[in-house]
Amino acid sequence: MVPLADSTIYEMEQRGEFPRRFALTPRCVVWDLGEIQAWLAARRAKPILRAPKPDVKQRRTRPLREPDQAPGAAS
């Protein structure tokens, strides 16, 4: 239902960003369906913030070419 790795869910639980699991047996843990559905609805309501694009001019290797330095241009 939630396409996240177990380790990601565990870390999010520790930070309080995901509903807490509870144990049915010593070897079986589960989550409350209502809490998960509420968490999913809250996630859907928030816009996804995109990461800023990297400043390619700060690259140390393979720097970005300026438009006037295109390959095959006559000098």
Share above pLDDT 90 across residues of the chain, in percent, rounded to a whole number:
59
Considering the chain, what is the average pLDDT of its residues?
A: 86
Of the candidate ranges 4-18, 28-42, 45-59, 61-75, the one whose mean pLDDT is the lowest? 61-75
Cross-strand partners of 22: 30
Domain range for 26: 1-46
Predicted confidence (pLDDT) at residue 32 exceeds the cutoff of 70: yes
Q: Which amino acid is at 24?
A: L
* Number of domain units in the chain: 1
pTM: 0.61
pLDDT of residue 64: 63
Domain assignment present for residue 40? The answer is yes
Domain assignment present for residue 36? The answer is yes
Domain assignment present for residue 23? The answer is yes
Phi and psi torsions of 29, nearest 5° = -115, 150
Measuring CA to CA, which residue among 22, 14, 12 is closest to residue 42? 12
